[in-house]
Amino acid sequence: MKKSIVILIVFGLFISCNDLEEEVYSSFLSSNFYQNEAQLQSQNLGIYNTFKHVQWERYNYQFLSMPGQYSTTRLGSDVWWKAPIYGIHETQNASQLNSIWTLAYQAISRANTVIKYAPTSPLYENDLELVDQYIAEAKWLRAYTYFTLVQMFGDVPLYKEPVETPDNNVLYRSRTASEEIYELMVEDLKFAVEKLPVIWVNTPSGRVTKGAGNFLLGKIYLTMAGLPLQKTEHYQDAIDILLPIANNPGDFNLALLSDWKSVFDKDNEEGNQEIIFALSNTYESGYGGIMPFFTNPLKSSFGGGNGPNYSWAYDYELVNLYEDTDVRKQEGFTFSYVRTNNGATVNFNPNPTNPNGSAYAGRNGICGTKYLDVTGNGNNIHEKDVIIYRYVDTFLMLAEAYLETNNPSDALTYLNIARQRVNASIVTQTDQAVLRNIVRTERYMELYGEYQEVFDMRRWGTAKDVFLSHPVREWRASNTPWDDKYLLYPLPIEQISANPNLLPNNPGY
């Protein structure tokens, strides 16, 4: 996903409850904007730019990947070790969750402005197909953002149009039932499937395309079929919308790369046919990524610049899940590295006698290789993009949907497509309960660290089991009990303070 994009934001009311205290109005005039494609493009790139933010990248990882079954951290500070087991301090909740909320509603506001006003411009009359593509892109991005919000928080305020009035009834909305928000997402994505182009021309790469429409709609259907909605008829809907991109990837400019590790190569981001959607980063302060700094061994060159922090790693039990022939075991983890301060070679020790906080060993965790960038300068100036959705997940979602509709044969077909690519053995098990565990484990083995873990656990109903066996809980807080409130995150304190209509908060908070 490259890059070097200069974003021109001409308008777009940024909706968060912090901003709602100000009387701000859209400066948009249809008579002086959207006169050509360049102006359309600048607005849509502005939506992407909302996610080009260290806070969105970092905090979503902490809330969505760190509670995953095999995530761990070497750090002893409460701020770090409590994150994987949901026990972040209330002050942290206020800061980190508020950042996610604020950025999400900024993106929604920008998307709403495009959706409302693009059809009013003269360009709409002259080139309907082109303008519809940009509206479809804005609707895809709005759906992605609401999808993130409802999975994290449950019911949230729904804004379908830009806020252009200081009227408190418009500004300070109460929460909308998540089921209604899912209906909007489905509507948006059906439009995106129909109108998005297979390939964008004369434009920066990394923008969502027609295949992304099918992909995200399939993921939303799969989520609606699970908890908490449990509308199981949507398993078949997921199958129907995902099959075209699974069986005819060339029609959508999608492909599984034959070399698994190359999917994550920093120099292979532009034109990478496996990437459905990613957060773009550049070597520029304020626009660079932070994941290489946090996810690589301490005092190694893998994080670039002044060296990484070794904050986020994986319990060695994850490594043990893979067969020895599996490419992901061979190339997905850093088993050895050279220290930049003294040139010593460090080998990961899975069973040390007394691991300390800086040892590359044991419960401190082994680092993955998905976020490598040796040339970054500083902790948040990395060019490595953060992949949110990959084409391979199409096959894993189909395997799950077929399995839950009692069709294990087809489930195996698509599961094994994903496994064959990494030289893993063919699965032949057809017992539904056994195969369900295999499919779910495969999702973690393939997608660890890609912001999917918490969403998967919640729709499967396995969050409690994962919590009770989480390596960080066993190490740091073995007596901490499960609480059903962990099935959703609390609405940010700052948002509730500004907008009491958001109350009551989620149960337990």
**Would you list the DSSP string of 450-494?**
SS-HHHHHHHHT-HHHHHHH-HHHHHH-TTPPP-GGGGSPPPPHH
Task: Answer left, alpha or beta for residue 77, where phi above 0 means left and psi between -120 and 50 means alpha.
Answer: beta
The pair of three-digit structure tokens given for residue 336, joined into one six-digit string = 């050895």
Same domain, 307 and 418: no
Clarify whether residues 28 and 144 are in a common domain: yes
Residues 6+ apart with CB under 8 A from 171: 20, 163, 165, 499
Question: In one letter, which amino acid is 357?
Answer: G
Single-letter residue type at 344: A
Prediction pTM value: 0.93
Quick one: 299 and 375 in the same domain?
yes
Kindly give the pairing relationship between strand 71-72 and strand 313-314. Answer: antiparallel
d(CA 388, CA 235): 22
Q: Are residues 439 and 339 in the same domain?
A: no
Judgement on whether residues 348 and 286 belong to the same structural domain of the protein: yes
Cβ atoms 295, 71 nearer than 8 A: no
φ/ψ of 333, rounded to 5, equals -140, 155
Helix 234-247 vs helix 210-225: angle between axes, to the nearest 10 degrees?
Answer: 150
Please tell me the total count of domains within the chain.
3
Instruction: Report the alpha-carbon distance of residue 34 to residue 131 in Å, rounded.
Output: 9
Verify that 378 and 393 share a domain, yes or no. no
Distance CA 70, CA 386 (A): 20
Pairwise CA distance, residues 162 & 144, whole Å: 17
User: What is the per-residue pLDDT for 89?
Assistant: 65
Whether the Cβ atoms of residue 466 and residue 449 lie closer than 8 Å to each other: no
Q: Which domain holds residue 424?
A: 389-480
Return the pLDDT at 60: 95
380 shares its domain with 422: no
Kindly state whether residue 285 falls inside one of the protein's structural domains.
Answer: yes
| CA pair distance 83, 472, nearest whole angstrom | 9
- List the chain pLDDT tens, one digit each, 509 residues: 443 333 333 333 333 333 323 333 344 454 466 788 888 899 999 999 999 878 999 999 999 999 999 999 998 888 788 888 887 766 666 789 999 999 999 999 999 999 999 998 888 888 899 999 999 999 999 999 999 999 999 999 999 999 988 888 888 999 999 999 999 999 999 999 999 999 998 787 899 999 999 999 999 999 999 999 999 999 999 999 999 999 999 999 999 999 999 999 999 999 999 999 999 988 776 678 999 999 999 999 998 777 898 999 999 999 999 999 999 999 999 999 999 989 999 999 999 988 888 899 999 999 999 999 988 877 878 899 999 999 999 999 999 999 999 999 999 999 999 999 999 999 999 999 999 999 999 999 999 999 999 999 999 999 999 999 999 999 999 999 999 999 999 999 999 999 999 999 999 99
Nearest to 169 by CA among 506, 501, 429, 452: 501
Q: Is residue 127 domain-shared with residue 31, that is, in the same domain?
A: yes
Residue 475: both structure tokens together = 């190490």
Asked if 363 and 406 sit in the same domain, the reply is no
Burial class (CB in 10 A: 0-12, 13-18, 19+), 478: exposed
Same domain, 39 and 137: yes
Residue 329 resides in a domain: yes
Out of 364, 384, 404, a domain closes at 384
Same domain, 12 and 34: yes
Q: Which of 384, 415, 432 is a domain's end point? A: 384
Residue 195 lies in a domain: no
Closest CA to 249 of 215, 222, 223, 293: 215
The two tokens of residue 460 are 């499967």
CA pair distance 325, 364, nearest whole angstrom? 25
What integer pLDDT is reported at residue 92 of this predicted model?
61
SS (H, E, C) 23-53: CCCCCCCCCCCCCCHHHHHHHHHHHHHHHCC
The CATH number covering residue 48 comes to: 1.25.40.890
Pick from 334, 363, 384: which residue ends a domain? 384
What's the pLDDT score for residue 198? 97
Task: Give the Cβ contact number of residue 251 at 10 Å.
Answer: 12
The pLDDT, as a whole number, for residue 230 is 98
* Inside any domain, residue 426: yes
Cα gap 418→62, rounded to integer Å: 27
∠ CA 333-337-425 to the nearest 5 degrees?
A: 25
Would you say residue 494 lies in a domain? Answer: yes
Instruction: Report which of 220, 211, 239 is spatially closest to residue 136, judged by C-alpha positions.
Output: 211
262, part of any domain: no
Tokens standing for residue 24: 């701000």
In a domain, 314, yes or no: yes
Q: What is the DSSP letter of 71?
A: E
Look-up: residue for tokens 């053995």? 425
Q: Are residues 370 and 302 in the same domain?
A: yes
Does 296 map to a domain?
Answer: yes
- 422, 326 contact by CB (below 8 A): yes
Angstrom distance (rounded) from CA 423 to CA 431: 23
